[in-house]
Amino acid sequence: MSLSRSAVALRRTAVHAVPTMLGIVVLCFLLLQLVPGDAVDVLAGQSGSATAETMSALREQYGLNQGLGSQLWSYLAHLAHFDLGRSVRFGTPVTQLVLDRLPATLLLMLSALGFALVLGIVAGWVMAAFANRWPDRILQVVVLLFYSTPGFWVGLMAIVLFSVKLGWLPSSGNATIGSALTGFDYLLDRARYLVLPSIALSTFFIAIYARLTRASMLEVTSQDFIRTAAAKGLHPFYIQLRHALRNALIPVTTMAGLHLGNLLGGAVVVETIFGWPGMGRLALDAVVGRDFNVLLGVLLLSSLVVIVSNAIVDQLHAWLDPRIEGH
């Protein structure tokens, strides 16, 4: 029965996802048409010697000389066959470009999200356990600093401290160029490049999850079932971990699901600062180069990632609180 309800929920999510993604594609396509110029203008400016005939031939080749309705219909027709078109700037299929960058962005996002959840939940738990005492007050000041400091500034200061001054961690890239590392050495090398971008991307979310965990823990611990568990003689640590924290995690996981879109947006800045070869940098290059096919491909795949992640969060909620599964 539980499996069937989960299958129904996933099917419902898939049904809702199709019109949502279609609406995103159409809206973004129309908004991008308001941007002056196109990829051919950028290519002509970079070459410095393009003739009017060459530019006209390129626009005809990529369908940029058609009307707005024709371009939209052509794009949707290709999209129905899972074809995201070709990049005018790179001359390669958009699907290949985006999928090549997707693993790096997902690795950065998941690392930053995991870092934020672990530190935020632990900090919030400690704040709730020592509410209105000195550990709580100190952590609240630290959390406020994390919340108020922009991620790009944290990234720049992290580069100055850990890369320039101390020389502990690399400042850009995602792996040592030309290295033939394998096994644990390869993972360690990738982790060294991942630390600073993850910190820069996660500090704001650490603050949110810490404050949210603290508030949820204080609310849950004041409820009757916690007092009942204590009256049964259960160990306080077990009560905090098994009953209080598990129920307090529901709003935290909800916010984590909603923040995936924010993480993708923040990844654009962080990937630019650290030279991380992900979809954020690809999107920025597409905007600069007016390569709208690439930008639409990034937006479409990003929307798919957020929708799938929200479906996973819904299943996680059902595990944390079985009462949710029936609704």
If asked whether residues 117 and 242 sit together in one domain, one would say yes
If asked whether residues 173 and 36 sit together in one domain, one would say no
If asked whether residues 200 and 304 sit together in one domain, one would say yes
From 111-120, 250-259, 295-304, the region with the lowest mean pLDDT: 250-259
Residue range 67-125, pLDDT digits in tens: 777 778 877 887 777 778 777 777 788 888 888 888 888 888 888 888 888 898 888 88
Residue 86 lies in a domain: no
Distance, CA of 189 to CA of 179 (rounded, Å): 10
Residue 92 lies in a domain: no
If asked whether residues 130 and 267 sit together in one domain, one would say yes
The full DSSP string for 252-284 is HHHHHHHTHHHHHHHHHHHHHHHT--SHHHHHH
Task: Return the residue matching tokens 């809702």.
Answer: 16
Mean of per-residue pLDDT scores for the chain? 77
Residue 201 lies in a domain: yes
Give the pLDDT confidence score for residue 1 in this predicted structure: 41
If asked whether residues 180 and 221 sit together in one domain, one would say yes
Q: In this structure, are residues 301 and 98 in contact, taking their beta carbons and an 8 Å threshold?
A: yes
Number of domains in the chain: 2
How confident is residue 18, by pLDDT bands cut at 50, 70 and 90? confident
Listed residue (256, 233, 238) closest to 314, CA to CA: 256
Of 80, 113, 132, which closes a domain? 80
Residue range 268-285, pLDDT digits in tens: 788 888 888 888 888 887
Residue 137 lies in a domain: yes
If asked whether residues 116 and 187 sit together in one domain, one would say yes
Listed residue (197, 190, 195, 159) closest to 175, CA to CA: 190
How confident is residue 224, by pLDDT bands cut at 50, 70 and 90? low
If asked whether residues 76 and 134 sit together in one domain, one would say no
If asked whether residues 125 and 39 sit together in one domain, one would say no
Is the pLDDT confidence value at 8 over 60? no
Listed residue (292, 307, 308) closest to 28, CA to CA: 292
Mean pLDDT of 157-181: 81
Distance, CA of 272 to CA of 285 (rounded, Å): 10
Buried b (16+ CB within 10 A) or exposed e, 220-250: bbeeeebeebeeeeeeeeebbeebbbebbbb
Is the pLDDT confidence value at 198 over 80? yes
Q: Is the pTM value of this prediction over 0.85? A: no
Is the pLDDT confidence value at 325 over 60? no
Of 15, 49, 80, which closes a domain? 80
If asked whether residues 15 and 107 sit together in one domain, one would say no
Query: CB-based burial of residue 110 (10 Å sphere; 0-12 exposed, 13-18 middle, 19+ buried)?
Result: middle
If asked whether residues 131 and 70 sit together in one domain, one would say no
Q: Which domain holds residue 226?
A: 98-326
If asked whether residues 76 and 103 sit together in one domain, one would say no
Residue 259 lies in a domain: yes
Distances, alpha carbon 191 to alpha carbons 58, 121, 284, 300, in Å: 43, 22, 25, 28
Point out which residues pair with 86 in neighbouring strands: 93
Is the pLDDT confidence value at 144 over 60? yes
Give the pLDDT confidence score for residue 319 in this predicted structure: 63
If asked whether residues 177 and 261 sit together in one domain, one would say yes
